[in-house]
Structure 1
Amino acid sequence: MKLTYSNFGRITVDGKVYDHDIIVYPSGKVEKRRKWLSKEKHGTSHKLDPDELREYLREEFDVLLVGTGFYGRLSLLPESRGLVGKKEVIELPTDNAAERFNEIHREKRVLAIFHVTC
């Protein structure tokens, strides 16, 4: 699996282009982020709420990787971070997060959330 984030608003996974935020599961499944769950509570989808994160905790993982967007606007709330316990959490701008995903996904089970705009 290979990810590229070369354009604001678009991310590519194995040649398939997505123009919305995505979740990449350790199994390789890709789905659209349910950002409305955070937006309903906080008025913005730039705060990753625990209720939203719970939706993605379906598969075992070693690392939670959050691509925070082109300008780094998406933030993982402290309560959300608490849901993953002592597992490794990496938050990086989306271009760097995509590179990091490519480096580690063969060695570790990565649950990745990518914000593709701001």
Structure 2
Amino acid sequence: MIDTYDFGNIVINGQKYTSDVIVYPDQVRSNWWRREGHRLDPEDIRELVSWRPEVLIVGTGSMGCMKISPETEELLKSQEIELIAEPTPRACQIFNQISATRRAVAALHLTC
């Protein structure tokens, strides 16, 4: 459960993080880095895809600056993983709602 999000900070199950994260149902991977900071490419989510979520919720940053490459969209489609991409404040809300009933993972960019 994502408790709170504010630019550059997120609290998940009472634990504060100050770098980008991937949120799985049973764990949080902190210090998530992408090949290009404001672009989501297939290699940035390979680990996550192997987990086989039903839905991936991408937080594209406070103002939505992170873009998702067409190759990433195609990879997710080929794996039958639904993609929801929203600015991070909204992505956190969606994750909290969806994760109660679906196998969901969130990849969250905390700034920009």
Q: By the TM > 0.5 criterion, same fold?
A: yes
Does 1:72 find its partner at 2:64?
A: yes
After the TM superposition, list the runs of 4 or more consecutive aligned residues in structure 1 that deviate by more than 6 angstroms: none
Does 1:105 find its partner at 2:104?
A: no
Amino acid at match of 2:91: A
Amino acid at match of 1:28: D
Contact kept, 8 Å, 1:47 with 1:77, in 2: the verdict is yes
Q: How far has the Cα of 1:33 moved from its partner?
A: 4.6
> For residues 20 and 55 of structure 1, what CA distance do their matches in structure 2 show?
18
Give 2:2's aligned residue: 2
Change (3 A) 1:117 1:23: same
Contact kept, 8 Å, 2:39 with 2:69, in 1: the verdict is yes
Pairing 1:1-118 to 2, within 5 Å after superposition: 1-5=1-5, 7-25=6-24, 27-36=25-34, 38-39=35-36, 45-85=37-77, 86-118=80-112
> For residues 63 and 3 of structure 2, what CA distance do their matches in structure 1 show?
18
Calculate the aligned-residue CA RMSD, in Å: 1.4
Change (3 A) 1:33 1:63: farther
Contact kept, 8 Å, 1:33 with 1:113, in 2: the verdict is no
> For residues 80 and 34 of structure 1, what CA distance do their matches in structure 2 show?
16
Give SS of 2:10's match: strand
Q: Unaligned 5+ residue runs, structure 2?
A: none
Number of aligned residue pairs: give it: 110
Q: How far has the Cα of 1:107 moved from its partner?
A: 0.6
TM-score scaled to structure 1, two decimals? 0.85
Change (3 A) 1:33 1:89: farther
Q: Unaligned 5+ residue runs, structure 1?
A: 40-44
